[in-house]
Amino acid sequence: MNQKALMIGNSDGIGLCTTKRLLSKGFHVTGISRSDSTIKHSAYSHFISDVRDSQYIELLDHLLQKESFDSCIYFVGIGERLNLSTMNDDVEVIDVNLTGMVKTVSKVIPQMLLHGQGHFIGLSSLADELHSAEAPSYHASKAGFSTYLESLGLALKPKGVYITNIRFGFVDTKMAKGEHKPFMMSAEEAATHVEHCIQQKPLRYTAPKLAIPLVKLHKLLVRA
């Protein structure tokens, strides 16, 4: 039986690459993004919506009434530098990265529990362990993202529903900002990691693994 996947924020970057991968593997995919999709495939349906809009929840309700999804992947993420003269961007970052994910979970997980199976994947960041004077909202949103998902995963695992929190470093997409981008990977490479997580269902997955000790070293230096 073909698996059905719901992809949030998949019109470009890692989401687009992953969508193409899954369609090639025989998945039926439904995508939701702020932008239209370039994908034309008989097993693909696309809807335009922003996770910040009230219509987003209505769309999720509509889709979940019609379909039972085996997996849901939240690719959505934004990041902005701190502007102390007007901090509206900080509100937007938290709303999109963290609140939007939790709103999605609140609709998708109950349906998965009804069927006794399912897999929710969220794309976080190694920034979840770091403090930053340049972009505190981004780091805070990812810290909350990772903590929430991994805690939820512990609660759901005995019930047959899986959570995976993927922590990437720099990926070559429009999200990659900053002068220094160590261990940069392509969106295609990131999609390979996502595909692996769909198959293996780990609670936490970090890539590239070489970046983990650098993050820990950075934390120690900041504390010092």
| Catalytically annotated residues | 138
SS (H, E, C) the chain: CCCEEEEECCCCHHHHHHHHHHHHCCCEEEEEECCCCCCCCCCEEEEECCCCCHHHHHHHHHHHHHCCCCEEEECCCCCCCCCCCCCHHHHHHHHHHHHHHHHHHHHHHHHHHHHCCEEEEEEEEHHHHCCCCCCHHHHHHHHHHHHHHHHHHHHHHHHCEEEEEEEECCECCCCCCCCCCCCCECHHHHHHHHHHHHHHCCCEEEECCCHHHHHHHHHHHHHC
